Amino acid sequence: AKMTGCYVVGSAGSDEKANLLIEKFGFDNAFNYKKEQDLNAALKRCFPEGIDIYFENVGGAMLDAVLLNMRKNGRITTCGMISQYNTEKPEGVYNLMNIILKSLRMQGFVV
């Protein structure tokens, strides 16, 4: 995405990994999701205009926050939901209405 001129933000589970995304891989911004008290606020800070394209591989609370921050006609590509794989009771996603309200396209695939 970065090679085609997109503004790219990543999330990682440590400050070290977030810095690696910026310094080694050229992301425009990155944040440590484990340190964020409010994922919705973190996404608003990183995407003040909203998210056009999101690569979903986390699920749960992150996907819920992303749905609130998507722009109209945004696209979500889904290939995993790692936060839900080993839980006894998977988290619900409450902001699905945004798929309709914002005319989002969400499509999954398996590699």
d(CA 79, CA 96): 17
Q: In this structure, what token pair is assigned to residue 34?
A: 């484990």
What is the set of domains in the chain, with CATH numbers? 1-35 (no CATH), 45-110 (3.40.50.720)
pLDDT in tens, 17-50: 999 999 999 999 999 999 999 999 999 999 999 9
Close Cβ partners of 84 (under 8 Å, ≥ 6 residues apart) = 59, 60, 90, 91
- Taking the alpha carbons at both ends of the chain, their separation in whole angstroms is 19
pLDDT in tens, 41-100: 999 999 999 999 999 998 999 999 999 999 999 999 999 988 888 889 988 899 999 999
Nearest by Cα to 48 from 9, 92, 106, 98 = 9
Residue 92: the pLDDT is 84
Share of the chain above pLDDT 90, in %: 83
Residue 38: the pLDDT is 97
